Amino acid sequence: MKIGVNKEIAFTHLLSRKRQTIVASLGVTIGIAMYIFMNSLVTGSNRYSDNAIFKTCPHVRIYKDDVMSVPLANDSSGNHATVIINPKIANISKNLINPVKLVNDIKKQPEVIAAAPLVTVSLFYNNGKSQMNGTTSGINIMEANTMFDIQSTMVNGDLKTLLSTSNGIIIGIGIANKLNIKLNDNISVISSIGVVKLMKVVGIFKSSNVATDKSKSYMNLAAAQQLLQQGPSYVTDIYVNIKNPAMAPAFASKLESLTDYTGEDWQSANELFVAGKKIRSVMFLCITWAILLVAAFGIYNILNMTIAQKLNDIAILKATGFSGKDVVNIFVMEALIMGVIGNFIGVALASLCVNLVSHIYIGADIGYFPIQFEPAITLTGVIVGMLVTFGAGYIPARKAAKVDPVAIFRK
Amino acid sequence: MEKQIILNTTNVGKYFYDPVKFKALDGITFEAYQGEFLTLVGKSGSGKSTLLYILSTMDTEYEGELFIEGEKITGQKLDNLAAIRNKNIGFVFQFHYLLPEFSCLKNVMIPALKLGKFSHEEVEQQAYQRLETLGLKDQALKPASKLSGGQQQRVAIARALINSPKIIMCDEPTGNLDSKNTQIVFDTFQQICREFGQTIIAVTHDNDFAAASDRTIELADGKIISHGFKK
């Protein structure tokens, strides 16, 4: 009942000044719409660029890092100097020991979605006299596909053909163009240790990265092992994908302690990209908050004006038994009602903007603009919007609560 | 018959500091009885309005003590005072002070809705009744700002009566009205005292109005010079 009469007064105030109410609400509308829209934009493009990274980079890569040679004998007594000439990278095999068990162990971790062993080989692609250098990944192509979605980048051929073609290779479109190679042509490759193999092109892919297209290829694990003259247990890397890519650094160090090899998360492999993403986020955060604050000032201003014009009414309300709390209640409620209206239209406007922008065609492998309706951001936007309007209402409302009725009546 | 004291003060004093320190009220001690039609008179600047605002509980900066129905009001919290005003005190001001956006009916209803003792429908019913007794039933749904001065003042009286307060305080209730409306207001006040036993404390300039009341307290320079008890 008590809330009822306050609400009634708040509504009457708002309805008797429709234009002010609408203007203040529209301020919130624009603030909220921009907040949701811009954040959706950032989230959408971040998601897209993350995905682009994840097309070539696993969440975590396990490999055996180079170690520096150590003194053969360490003299701990301190009487003699330890002598070692020219410390350098120890020439130890990069092979991961017992890769099958290692992969199985990794797959048992609850966070893991996929784990695949692979052999990375530096090589030259040859066709006649033309030659290009690059790297190939010997990997089970179907496992690689679940991680990197290679299928979606294929412009020619089919991934599955590789499984049935032991000397098959899938090359980037840059290599194919430069060496003038088409699907089902042969290509000769020379590995860094001089092994030559004739491969059959079973597929051509086109990623979003030109450098990758000009150097990267995929082949079967066994073929890559042959290029290095190694047996079937030879594996240089294990690629691991986990459920939440953001947790990769923690998971990498967990794997390090579990396996004794080096774990590299995608963030440290792409530091520049991660830094760029952070800068973008901060930038947009500033912009969206600035817009929200402007909207809040709109409400603050209009309520301040209303209160200044309604000093008489406030004095009467207080005289007839409304306490300071009730007065705060009334004006905060007015702010919140304007906030709710503003939020409601704001969400609608943001959805419309998102919908419009998502129909803009960008081209390349992006296709349409990478933006979609983000429920989490919308919810945050609505909550933030309500908090801001509450604040913008509360400050002038407190001033109203302090109005001294006697001072008003005496004038 | 022993009269029951509804409101009393002991030694109330009040200072104004702007522009210079000045004692507006000094040693005010008096009682108001149930069912009494009491008027406060005095020259302009005698402190009668100041006293009324202290009695109304709205002004809290004074010396001395104020009691309503024996309960000490001085020193209570502002929210409590608001509740006391809502329940026990009705106000009628010189410039009728209605809420302009609301209909007359709503204006009358608001203090009762705030009190929350009756349902919305019951309050509406009571408000209609009050307006009817004051001859305003057909104006009930008009916005308050559309009424004439006399009508607005009667709406204000209806509002002051809605919660059946023990005390009704008026600041120059007829100061702005023609003689016909003054008569209506006066008759209404007398009826309130006689029939419902409510107390009226009115500040007035109008000598006829004061003379017709039960008792007139006269102030001069912040002091009571006559308690006005009839011999």
- Element containing residue A406 per DSSP (H, E): helix A405-410
pLDDT of residue A85: 63
Q: Helices H, strands E: what count in chain B?
A: 7, 10
Whether the predicted pLDDT of B44 surpasses 90: no
User: Are residues A103 and A238 both part of a single domain?
Assistant: yes
pLDDT of residue A203: 92
Rounded distance between C-alpha atoms, residue B146 and residue B149, angstroms: 10
* Closest listed residue to residue A9, CA positions, set B178, B114, B213, B146: B114
Whether the predicted pLDDT of A202 surpasses 90: yes
User: Are residues A229 and A347 both part of a single domain?
Assistant: no
Residue of B nearest to A409 (CA): B93
Half-sphere exposure of A90 (CA within 13 A, CB side): 12
Contact B31, B5 (CB under 8 A): yes
Mutate which of A2, A3, A20, A320 to test chain B, going by most B C-beta atoms within 10 A? A320
What is the residue-averaged pLDDT of chain A? Answer: 84
Tokens of A296: 């809040």
Asked whether the beta carbons of residue A13 and residue B49 sit closer than 8 angstroms, the reply is: no
pLDDT of residue A285: 85
pLDDT in tens, B28-41: 888 888 888 888 88
User: Are residues A253 and A161 both part of a single domain?
Assistant: yes
pLDDT in tens, B139-152: 778 888 888 777 88
| Residue A7 near chain B (CB below 8 Å) | no
pLDDT in tens, A157-180: 888 888 888 899 999 999 999 999
Question: What is the domain partition of chain B in residue ranges?
Answer: 5-226
User: Are residues A181 and A166 both part of a single domain?
Assistant: yes
User: Are residues A47 and A7 both part of a single domain?
Assistant: yes
One-letter amino acid for residue B43 of the chain:
K
Could you tell me the residue range of the domain that residue A309 belongs to?
A: 2-53+274-410
Question: Considering only residues 197 to 236 of chain A, which have any Cβ-Cβ distance to chain B shorter than 8 Å?
Answer: none
Residues of A in contact with B49 (CB under 8 A): 410
Q: What is the mean pLDDT of residues A250-273?
A: 84
Position A78 in a domain: no
pLDDT of residue A75: 64
* B5-226 has CATH 3.40.50.300 classification: yes
Tokens of A343: 């939020």
pLDDT in tens, A11-23: 888 888 888 888 8
Position A47 in a domain: yes
Half-sphere exposure of A57 (CA within 13 A, CB side): 19
| Residue A322 near chain B (CB below 8 Å) | yes
Rounded distance between C-alpha atoms, residue B130 and residue B126, angstroms: 6
User: Are residues A382 and A246 both part of a single domain?
Assistant: no
Whether the predicted pLDDT of A1 surpasses 70: no
One-letter amino acid for residue B148 of the chain:
S
Asked whether the beta carbons of residue B53 and residue A319 sit closer than 8 angstroms, the reply is: no
- Element containing residue A240 per DSSP (H, E): strand A237-242
Asked whether the beta carbons of residue A318 and residue B83 sit closer than 8 angstroms, the reply is: no
Q: State how far residue B230 is from chain A, nearest Cα, in angstroms.
A: 32
For residue B214, what are the CA distances in angstroms to B33, B181, B190?
Answer: 11, 20, 9
Whether the predicted pLDDT of A269 surpasses 70: yes
In this structure, is the dihedral angle defined by the CA atoms of residues A66, A68, A74 and A77, taken in order, positive or negative? negative
List the single residue in B49, B100, B111 with the smallest CB-CB distance to A320: B111
Q: State how far residue B144 is from chain A, nearest Cα, in angstroms.
A: 13
User: Are residues A303 and A231 both part of a single domain?
Assistant: no
pTM over the 0.80 mark: no
Mutate which of B92, B110, B157 to test chain A, going by most A C-beta atoms within 10 A? B110
pLDDT of residue B1: 46
Whether the predicted pLDDT of B14 surpasses 70: yes
> Quick one: pLDDT band at residue A403, thresholds 50, 70, 90?
confident
Rounded distance between C-alpha atoms, residue B150 and residue B139, angstroms: 12
- Which of residues A269, A296, A328 is at a domain's end? A269
Residue of A nearest to B110 (CA): A5
User: Are residues A240 and A299 both part of a single domain?
Assistant: no
| Residue A409 near chain B (CB below 8 Å) | yes
- Which of residues A269, A299, A314 is at a domain's end? A269
pLDDT in tens, B67-93: 888 788 888 888 888 888 888 888 888
Please state the ipTM of this predicted complex.
Answer: 0.85
Q: State how far residue B205 is from chain A, nearest Cα, in angstroms.
A: 16
Residue of A nearest to B116 (CA): A1
- Element containing residue A6 per DSSP (H, E): helix A2-16
Provide the number of structural domains found in chain A.
Answer: 2
User: Are residues A187 and A167 both part of a single domain?
Assistant: yes
Helix (H, G, I), strand (E, B) or coil at A393: helix
pLDDT of residue A2: 46
pLDDT of residue A12: 81
* Closest listed residue to residue B143, CA positions, set B189, B197, B182, B102: B102
User: Are residues A41 and A68 both part of a single domain?
Assistant: no
Whether the predicted pLDDT of A232 surpasses 70: yes
Whether the predicted pLDDT of A210 surpasses 50: yes
Position A209 in a domain: yes
Residue B9 gets which letter from DSSP? E
Q: What is the mean pLDDT of residues A39-58?
A: 83
Whether the predicted pLDDT of A221 surpasses 60: yes
Percent share of chain A, pLDDT over 90: 9
Rounded distance between C-alpha atoms, residue A148 and residue A266, angstroms: 13
In chain B, the DSSP E strands lie at 5-16, 22-33, 37-42, 63-68, 71-72, 89-92, 167-171, 199-203, 215-220, 223-226
- Which of residues A269, A288, A314 is at a domain's end? A269
Residue of B nearest to A2 (CA): B114
pLDDT of residue B96: 61
pLDDT of residue A3: 52
pLDDT in tens, B165-202: 888 888 887 777 778 878 878 888 888 888 878 888 88
